[in-house]
Structure 1
Amino acid sequence: MTTDPKPAWDVLGAAAAEAGVDTEGAQLIRDGSNVMYRLPGGIVARIGRPGTADTARREAETAIWLASQGIPAVQVIESLPQLVVVAERPVTWWHLLPPHRPATPAELATVLKAVHSLDVPTRPQLPLHNPFAGIAPRIRDATPINADDRDWLLQRLEQLEADYHQLEMNQGRFVLHGDAWQGNVAVPENGQPILLDLEAFSIGPRQWDLVQIAVDYTDFARLTDADYKSFLTAYGDDDITETPEFRTLADIQELRWVAFAASKAASNPNAAHEARHRIACLRGKKPRPWIWSAL
């Protein structure tokens, strides 16, 4: 199993000392794929996984580029050194968001429509979208998951990779957010929606940015009919749930969510329980609509 070479708190202290940033009273905001701390002076420290310095650098460049294109997004603090690497873990510095709420489906659709209308930039150099990135190692390293479930997940991954490459969808070169859900758009009380979590920005078929909210509607019943209709109306496109590629894209998205839970299972008993529940859903042991707890 892969482990971080240095805990996030120690990484923060070393990076802050190098950048001249005060960490007194630091508060943990999130401990996920990235670890985020709120610091004095309206600073947010974002600590990436080991070996992801290039991704962190591109994320900072993407934030600056989006601002230049008139799309409000979370912004780096350009007066601080971007980025600092400690024990192979990248640390970047961001402006703290004002008080906000998650986007409505219609607000998310409006932001995605604007992102998809952008010309592909030469800088930052956005990678081609790979919906399978990181799934296999997360499954293989998930030792708390029993061998039968782990083998089934890897076989499922192999089948979905084959299915995906057989899809005949519009493979246009669109700018993608890559992880498009309502929580990744922050809406302040007075102001425009702000796009968050820019590390998955890439180039690929825009259907990928539409499938996550569609899955929330079809498989999890997280949205009402009116919610989903408002998304379709604001985006101005046909319903992806009625297209031939929907089920394959939905299955890939759900496998990604399962792999993420499995990757947390070794260090978090709640994640281990949730991973087993999600696997049971995929294996047909639980009927839709499913209820999955956030991690």
Structure 2
Amino acid sequence: MTSSLSVPLRTAEAPDPADTARQALTDAALDQGFDPDGAELLHNARNWVFRLPNSGLVGKVHSRSTHYSDVARQARTADALLAADFPTAAPVGRISVVRGHLVDFTKDLGPDHPSQRQHGALLRRLHLLPRPARLDIVRVDKVARAYARLDRLRPSAVSDTGRVGLRRFLTTAADSYHQARRSELCLTHGDITVTNAALPEDGDAALLDLETFGLGDPAWDQAASAFARAVFGKDPQEHEEWVGGYGYDIAEADPGMYELLVPIMGVNSALFYLDWADRIRPEARHEAEHRLDTLLTGRPLPWDWAPVHLVKPSAAPSGSAP
């Protein structure tokens, strides 16, 4: 298949976005009296997440397209979940606006993640949680999100032919899903991986990253582990452990619905990589093109997509310039 991507080359005049994010984090931390020395980059994708070891905090530098109201809503959601005795990271300080980025901070719950079984049980607990009173919970629509992501892609991210093909593929999949959807809406997370959860030494597993949290169809959350097994090569035993914690395997119990979810989940994953390769990580171009080709050629499962490696172990030296 002919490449559908045009890859921008980073020049000396275009700094690494992670470096700019680190500068924004440093400015925001100092402004609020937090120590940014030795900040460790944990997540380097659409947003940047840093651990501040000297402050016991995690700082998130949001992409410049993020709205203040969305970040504020995430903080209110965290407060409401904590008030309902559901574990998550507590917001700390205020939302800063620095170098064109929004920056917020939460309590650091530590570097450990829950087991697959613990993670499944945590998600089940969320799905059964009553909607907190007086909380402006947004309606989460995975299909609408996919269309919005596709519309936001720059011409340099995908060719006109690729864009048209993806839209046609998505429309067909979305029509089938909407005709079959049958789950009652509940609180959902929307980005189910164990890296979006923490296991504090003195507490229960806690849910992190509430950016996609809202009222939605739980089937998307329920399908995430099986999707990772079929698409990213997740260990089948780990999937079984996750199912043991959650208590339900949609891929086995409702395979018809699961098969309707997979194409839309695939589109969202491909769109993430197309945008990531275009804006931040040119070296991800090959994987982005591979994902696009998988969808447009109708390749059957299992797919052989590379998992997203967002963790960068290096930290800035203490006292060094950001």
Choose the corresponding residue for 2:223, options 191, 211, 236: 211
Aligned to 2:62: 48
1:235 aligns with 2:250: no
Q: Deviations over 1:62-89 (max 9, x none)?
A: 2222222222212222xx2x21223553
Q: 1:24 to 1:200 in 2, by over 3 A?
A: same
Aligned to 2:283: 270
Question: For residues 164 and 146 of structure 1, what CA distance do their matches in structure 2 show?
Answer: 27
Q: Deviations over 1:198-224 (max 9, x none)?
A: 111101221121011121233444131
In structure 2, the gaps of 5 or more residues are 1-5, 7-13, 310-322
Aligned to 1:256: 268
Contact 1:99/1:189 (CA < 8 Å) preserved in 2? no
Amino acid at match of 1:59: Q
Determine helix, strand or coil for the equivalent of 1:83: strand
Contact 1:53/1:88 (CA < 8 Å) preserved in 2? no
Q: 1:144 to 1:168 in 2, by over 3 A?
A: closer
Contact 1:169/1:245 (CA < 8 Å) preserved in 2? no
1:153 aligns with 2:170: no
- Per-residue deviation, 1:126: 1.0
Q: Deviations over 1:84-117 (max 9, x none)?
A: 223553211112232313x333212100111111
Question: Bigger shift: 254-263 or 184-193?
Answer: 184-193
Determine helix, strand or coil for the equivalent of 2:142: coil
Aligned to 1:69: 84
Q: Deviations over 1:228-280 (max 9, x none)?
A: 33333332335344423212212111111110000011232222111001112
Per the normalisation by structure 2, the TM-score is 0.79
- 1:165-180 equivalence runs, <5 A: 165-170=178-183, 172-180=184-192
Determine helix, strand or coil for the equivalent of 2:51: strand
Amino acid at match of 1:192: D
1:132 aligns with 2:146: no
- Per-residue deviation, 1:49: 2.1
- 1:176-195 equivalence runs, <5 A: 176-188=188-200, 191-195=203-207
Greater relative CO, 1 or 2 (CA 8 Å, sep 6+): 2
Question: For residues 113 and 242 of structure 1, what CA distance do their matches in structure 2 show?
Answer: 16
Contact 2:109/2:199 (CA < 8 Å) preserved in 1? no
Aligned to 1:112: 123
In structure 1, the gaps of 5 or more residues are none
Contact 1:220/1:288 (CA < 8 Å) preserved in 2? no
Q: 1:133 to 1:47 in 2, by over 3 A?
A: farther
Determine helix, strand or coil for the equivalent of 1:72: coil
Q: 1:7 to 1:291 in 2, by over 3 A?
A: same
Amino acid at match of 1:47: V
Question: Bigger shift: 84-93 or 260-269?
Answer: 84-93
Determine helix, strand or coil for the equivalent of 2:199: strand
Q: 1:65 to 1:162 in 2, by over 3 A?
A: same
Contact 2:222/2:250 (CA < 8 Å) preserved in 1? no
1:222 aligns with 2:234: yes
- Number of equivalent positions: 287
Report the RMSD for the aligned CA atoms in angstroms: 2.7
- Per-residue deviation, 1:154: 2.0
